[in-house]
């Protein structure tokens, strides 16, 4: 069988075009063995090969080389060719595959759910003779529509739409057709068009001039294939709506005190019934550290792979045979399900007990099934370490693996031994294997059900992992344990946030092509067709906080370009290292900090460093020491002392860089410090100039390069629709990077990204964005309405354009208008909290609006326990709310 590859691509002197593919003759994907193409003139390149007749298919791609260095390749999607013995010669005329401008529509969110098409093969099969194959990408053809081709030939309907040939969507979003070339008189003129699949009525023609094709030179038994074409479409922006709700917040009649995977499946029915198309959830990975409510924080996972055990649907898993115990658990289920919030500890305790009983009853047989063995083979690389980690966590009563004695250092050989039947650990480890398998099969079934119903499941990827997680134990080379990640001060917290996660060793991750992240994305793709990168700014830079700090003020961006002493002086700042980098406080501010406790604090906690200044004594000279000393005492007096001492520990203007110790970072919000007050007017002016340049100009290009380097290969590695949470202190380079990579931004009306605006202009949001009324870190609409009376008054008059005084409550009518405004925004996706949908219905909304808050970022010990106040079954019957949601979405033109 002869195969000829042809492509038109203009190069410059010294550049050569190569082709690499899936078969040995094309290097089996090893670029070192790729085939060099021959230049035939006028930008045309060709490669001819003799292939074995048994070759059935080929995948391949083109790339450029200069001096044996690969410099540029096509978009990550490969060319594909199916071969058969009916043709002796295949001639491929390809177009260079560039990243489409509408990349979102090539994601699995669209190809497998929103616009998914059945795998329909070519209607007319041509078995012999000369064949002409045409392939075109058309991802925006809606369900119930088909792509067709018409032209100036009888075999193509002579331009009549009703006689056009329907193309195959077997490899959607690519459509293809095989035409008997014997029936064509060349040159062929043709165009693509979209028809209603059932009626064959014309929906629209593609834009532009007729396409022209001439293969009159075609030989007998030759198949000529034209690929890499794109449908020229002029369509209005495609937009849809959805709901965000944590899985744990769902409630059904079958729940066991917490939302589970069965509830998520049931919630899909409500989403579909209300003409919504997306469900966004919070992270669902295991967070079990202490077996207490403190583990309720879903962004501090102990594993990037394993699912949280509390999400297993017990009724779906199966019944236990012991009638007495079954009665006991039914009673517990009723008791826990009646609670307004999630009782995290009780839920975990009793669900785990139920699962252990069921495992004793059915587990041994299940672990022998073919399905389980396949699951284990595909996931053992993370499942075995995770299971042993859980075993050690409970054996040593801590997740701090440095306290695990001989097991503190990960040992794969020991892991493998413990995971074999017959060991002391086997009963516990095999139970963990079983539970993760059940969770996987349930979640996979929910994912498949969502796709079948045209609903997208959107996941959440936390930027960090717990310091004592499985991955930090097993792959320590990827983490820096000398610092903590967090966020600088923003609208969520005026002292910054300290998440206590380790920071990443990006250099090490880059050296192995970000394998750790690729595997993480891949696992997420097992269940989701879209995901949100939590704190995407972490791919540009992370806020790194020294381990001796509890608060986030004394962090610094990493990577960064810290200032040398000479650079600081060039700004006009008279740099006094001891004065500007050592925490101290002027005596005159002690009463402001401590009130009538000032004398006591001065005598016990402070040491005099000059006639007017004090430093913290050695026993309390860091925030971590202060926390150990006073952290557990909630007495008002000691809380004031602790917070005041924290403030003194933050009293610096510059922070020494941990990696370049002779360089410095200006402290964030230093202009609000007591030390800043002591500067002269000239020194303040010089410092302000340095501060502004450092935080808002100095790093723009540097951070842009970091983000492109990290995000480009990772985004290319997944088929999911990628969204980013880009809130907070946003570098100027962020929008450019996200636009170029087509990552959807997050837009919130009350958190404008344009300076000098109190509220974002919803009508001028970017199309590639997710618009919402609030996030889990913010108050829902009804609570927000109560927070700042003056601000709400301005919003009421200037944004909602309502005259008079704003009402004290966010009425259902106001909530409806706010949601309508959001749905009318140009954003591709509008995903609203369930609580805000409830706010539009007086008969349905919760009486206690304060109980709808999910998280308070300023409180690092917040209990994540919110649950919807009615069951999904009752929600399905709430026709009033359903009609409101359907009407609002239809009116906005969203699909």
Give the pLDDT confidence score for residue 87 in this predicted structure.
Answer: 86
Terminal C-alpha separation, the chain:
48
CB 442 within 8 A of CB 261: yes
Beta strand segments in 95-173, E: 131-137, 145-151, 165-166, 168-171
pLDDT in tens, 592-603: 999 999 999 999
pLDDT at 123: 55
Q: Is the pLDDT of residue 34 over 90?
A: yes
Q: Provide DSSP, 243-277.
A: EE--GGG---TT-SSS--HHHHHHHHHHHHHTT--
**Predicted confidence (pLDDT) at residue 349 exceeds the cutoff of 80:** yes
pLDDT of residue 129: 82
| pTM of the shown model | 0.93
Q: Is the predicted pLDDT of residue 800 greater than 80, yes or no?
A: yes
The two structure tokens encoding residue 632: 């557990």
pLDDT at 845: 95
Q: Give residue 128's pLDDT band: very low, low, confident or very high (50, 70, 90).
A: confident
pLDDT for position 493 = 80
Q: What is the pLDDT of residue 121?
A: 64
The pLDDT value given to residue 363? 94
- Give the pLDDT confidence score for residue 124 in this predicted structure: 64
Could you tell me which of 452, 407, 542 has the C-alpha nearest to residue 113? Answer: 452
Region 826-838: what's the mean pLDDT?
98
pLDDT digits (tens, 9 = 90+) for 378-397: 999 999 999 999 999 999 99
Give pLDDT tens digits for 62-100. 999 998 787 888 888 899 998 987 888 999 999 999 889
Q: Which residues, other chains included, contact 258 with Cβ-Cβ below 8 Å and sequence gap of 6+?
A: 248, 310, 311, 336, 342, 344, 347, 351, 867
**Mean pLDDT, all residues of the chain:** 95
CB 840 within 8 A of CB 816: yes
The pair of three-digit structure tokens given for residue 189, joined into one six-digit string: 């003129």
Summarised one tens digit per residue, pLDDT across range 319-344 is 999 999 999 999 999 999 999 999 99
pLDDT band at residue 122, thresholds of 50, 70 and 90? low
Q: How far apart are CA 890 and CA 895, in angstroms?
A: 7
How is residue 800 written in tokens? 């909602």
Place of tokens 């795998």: 119
> 413 by DSSP, 3-state: which?
helix
Q: What is the mean pLDDT of residues 440-454?
A: 98
Nearest one of 468, 417, 664, 678 to 565, comparing CA atoms: 664
> Each residue of 396-411: pLDDT tens digit?
999 999 999 999 999 9
At 286-320, the pLDDT tens digits run 999 999 999 999 999 999 999 999 999 999 999 99
Bigger pLDDT: 76 vs 202: 202
């Amino acid at each position: 069988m002869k195969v000829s590859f042809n492509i038109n691509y203009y190069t410059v002197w010294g550049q050569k075009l190569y082709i690499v593919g899936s078969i040995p003759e094309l290097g089996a994907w090893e670029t070192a063995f790729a085939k060099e193409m021959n230049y035939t003139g006028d930008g045309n390149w060709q490669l001819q090969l003799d292939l074995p007749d048994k070759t059935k298919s080929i995948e391949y791609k083109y790339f450029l080389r200069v001096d044996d260095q690969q410099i540029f390749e096509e978009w990550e999607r490969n060319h594909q060719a199916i071969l058969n013995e009916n043709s002796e010669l295949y001639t491929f005329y390809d177009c260079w595959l560039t990243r489409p401008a509408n990349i979102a529509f090539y994601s699995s969110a669209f190809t497998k759910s929103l616009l998914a098409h059945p795998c329909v093969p070519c209607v007319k099969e041509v078995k012999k003779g000369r064949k002409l194959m045409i392939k075109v990408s058309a991802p925006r053809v809606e369900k119930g529509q088909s792509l067709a081709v018409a032209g100036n030939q009888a075999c193509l309907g002579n331009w009549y739409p009703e006689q056009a040939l329907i193309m195959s969507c077997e490899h959607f979003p690519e459509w293809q057709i095989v035409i008997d070339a014997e029936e064509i008189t060349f040159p062929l003129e043709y165009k693509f068009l979209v028809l209603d699949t059932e009626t064959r009525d014309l929906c629209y023609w593609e834009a532009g001039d007729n396409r022209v094709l001439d293969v009159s030179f075609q030989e007998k038994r030759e198949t000529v294939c034209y690929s890499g074409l794109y449908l020229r479409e002029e369509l209005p922006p495609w937009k849809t709506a959805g709901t965000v709700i944590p899985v744990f917040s769902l409630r059904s009649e079958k729940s066991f005190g917490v939302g589970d995977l069965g509830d998520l499946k049931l919630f899909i029915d409500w989403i579909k019934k209300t003409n919504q198309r997306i469900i966004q959830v919070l992270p669902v990975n295991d967070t079990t550290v202490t077996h207490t409510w403190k583990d309720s924080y879903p962004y501090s996972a102990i594993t990037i792979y394993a699912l949280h055990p509390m999400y297993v649907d017990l009724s779906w898993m199966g019944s236990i045979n012991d009638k007495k115990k079954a009665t006991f658990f039914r009673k517990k289920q009723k008791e826990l399900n009646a609670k307004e919030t999630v009782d995290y500890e009780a839920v975990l305790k009793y669900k785990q007990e139920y699962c252990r009983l069921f495992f004793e009853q059915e587990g041994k047989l299940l672990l022998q099934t073919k399905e389980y063995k396949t699951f284990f083979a595909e996931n053992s690389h993370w499942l075995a370490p995770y299971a042993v980690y859980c075993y050690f966590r409970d054996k040593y009563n801590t997740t701090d693996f440095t306290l695990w004695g001989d097991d503190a250092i990960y040992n794969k050989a020991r892991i493998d031994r413990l995971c074999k039947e017959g060991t002391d650990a086997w009963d516990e480890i095999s139970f963990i294997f079983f539970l993760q398998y059940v969770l996987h099969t349930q979640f996979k079934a929910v994912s498949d059900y969502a796709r079948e119903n045209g609903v997208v499941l959107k996941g959440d990827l936390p930027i960090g992992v717990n310091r004592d997680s499985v991955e930090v134990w097993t792959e320590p080379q990827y983490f820096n344990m000398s610092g903590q990640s967090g966020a600088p001060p923003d609208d969520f917290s005026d002292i910054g946030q300290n998440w206590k996660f380790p920071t990443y060793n990006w250099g090490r991750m880059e050296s192995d092509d970000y394998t750790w992240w690729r595997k993480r994305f891949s696992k997420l793709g097992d269940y989701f067709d879209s995901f949100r990168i939590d704190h995407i700014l972490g791919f540009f830079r992370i806020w790194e906080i020294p381990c001796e700090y509890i608060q986030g003020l004394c962090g610094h961006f990493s990577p960064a370009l810290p200032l040398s002493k000479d650079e600081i002086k060039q700004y006009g700042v008279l740099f006094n290292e001891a004065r500007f980098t050592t925490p101290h406080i002027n005596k005159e501010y002690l009463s402001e900090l401590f009130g009538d406790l000032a004398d006591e604090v001065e005598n016990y906690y402070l040491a005099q460093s000059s006639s007017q200044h004090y430093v913290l004594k050695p026993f309390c000279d860091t925030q971590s020491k202060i926390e150990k000393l006073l952290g557990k005492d909630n007495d008002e007096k000691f809380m004031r002392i602790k917070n005041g001492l924290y403030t003194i520990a933050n009293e610096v203007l510059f922070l020494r860089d941990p990696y370049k110790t002779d360089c410095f970072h200006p402290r964030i919000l230093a202009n609000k410090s007591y030390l800043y007050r002591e500067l002269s007017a000239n020194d303040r002016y010089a410092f302000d100039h340095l501060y502004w340049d450092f935080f808002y100009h100095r790093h723009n290009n540097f951070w842009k390069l970091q983000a492109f380097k990290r995000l480009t290969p990772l985004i290319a590695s997944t088929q999911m629709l990628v969204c980013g949470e880009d809130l907070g202190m946003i570098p100027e380079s962020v929008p450019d990077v996200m636009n170029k990579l087509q990552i959807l931004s997050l837009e919130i009306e009350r958190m404008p990204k344009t300076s000098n605006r109190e509220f974002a202009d919803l009508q001028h949001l970017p199309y590639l964005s997710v618009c919402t009324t609030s996030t889990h870190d913010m108050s829902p609409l009804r609570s927000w309405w109560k927070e700042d009376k003056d601000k709400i008054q301005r919003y009421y008059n200037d944004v909602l354009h309502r005259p008079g005084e704003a009402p004290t409550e966010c009425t259902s009518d106001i909530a409806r208008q706010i949601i309508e405004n959001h749905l009318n925004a140009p954003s591709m996706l509008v995903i609203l909290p369930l609580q805000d949908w409830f706010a539009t219905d007086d008969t349905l909304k919760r009486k206690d609006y304060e109980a709808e808050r999910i998280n308070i970022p300023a409180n690092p010990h917040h209990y994540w326990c919110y649950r919807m106040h009615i069951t999904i079954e009752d929600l399905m019957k709430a026709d009033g709310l359903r009609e409101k949601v359907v009407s609002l979405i239809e009116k906005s033109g969203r699909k």
